[in-house]
Amino acid sequence: MLKNYLKTALRNLVRRKNYTVINVTGLAAGIAICLVLFLVIRYEMSFDNYHQRKDRIYRVLTEYHHADSPDIFYGRGVPAPLPAALKTNFPQAERVAVIYSEGNDQIQVLDDNAQPVKKFKEEHGVFFTEPSLFDIFDFKWLAGSPASLKNLNSAVLTKTIAEKYFGDWQFAMGKTIKWNNQDPLKITGILADIPENSDLQFKVVIRFGTGSTARYTRSTNWDGTGTS
C-alpha cells in the first residue's frame, strides 16, 4: 500500500515539474529560515547564561522623564554616588560593582624605563571596575584573581589583548601600560578571552578610582549620570 502511494506521488511530481519545483523550493526555503531563526534566537537567549548566579544579578539603569515628551527613556549611566548608596542602604545586596567606560581609548605600552614603545587605539573594551565584579560574574582567570584589581593603578588584560600588546600573555604580567596618557598601570592579572555571548566584552580592565575616574568616587552630585 505504501509503495503504491509513493509511486503515485513520484509520478505526479514528475508529471507536474513546474509545480514540483515551486513547492520543493518553498519547502526548502521555509526549513532554512526556521533553522536560521532558531539559531539566532538560541544565541540571543544564551547571553550571560553561563554565570552560576545569573538569576541573582541585576543591572541598575536610569529612567529618564522629559517634560516635552510622554515617552520614558532608559540609560546605562547612573549618578556617581549611587554605588556607595547601594552598599550603605541595601545590605541585602551581597555585591555591588561599578562599571565605567568611555570608548575610543588610547593604550600605550611602556618599556622597563616607563617609556612608550607601542600605541594602540581601542574603540571599545576598556572598562574601569572593582574586584567585586568578579565575585558576581564567572570569568576565568589565567593569571591573578579578583584581588589583582585591589590596588589603584592596576590593570588586567584578556589573553588576546595581552598577546597583541606584548606577544606572549605570560610575559605581560608585571609590565606597565598607560591609559589616555595618564599614570602608568601595572598589569596584575590575565583573563581568558570573554565569550562572544557576553554583554561585558572586556579587553582591558582597570581599577575604578584610578586616574580621572577618581572624581566619581568623591562625587556627591546626584544630577549627572556619567558612569555606565
What pLDDT score does 2 carry?
A: 67
8-12, 58-62, 100-104, 179-183: which range is least confident on average? 8-12
What pLDDT score does 175 carry?
A: 96
Express each pLDDT in 92-124 by its tens digit: 999 999 999 998 999 999 999 989 999 999 999
What pLDDT score does 9 carry?
A: 64
What pLDDT score does 122 carry?
A: 96
- DSSP characters over 178-219: EETT-SEEEEEEEEPPPPTT-S---SEEEETTSGGGHHHHH-
Mean pLDDT confidence for 174-192: 96
Express each pLDDT in 15-65 by its tens digit: 777 777 788 888 899 999 999 999 999 888 888 888 888 889 998 888 888
Q: Report residue 220's pLDDT band, with 50, 70 and 90 as the boundaries.
A: confident
DSSP state for residue 88 in the 8-state scheme: H
Q: Report residue 13's pLDDT band, with 50, 70 and 90 as the boundaries.
A: low
154-186 core/surface letters (b: 16 or more CB in 10 A; e: else): bbbbbbebbbbbbeebeebbebbbbbeeeeebe
Q: What percent of the chain has pLDDT over 70?
A: 93
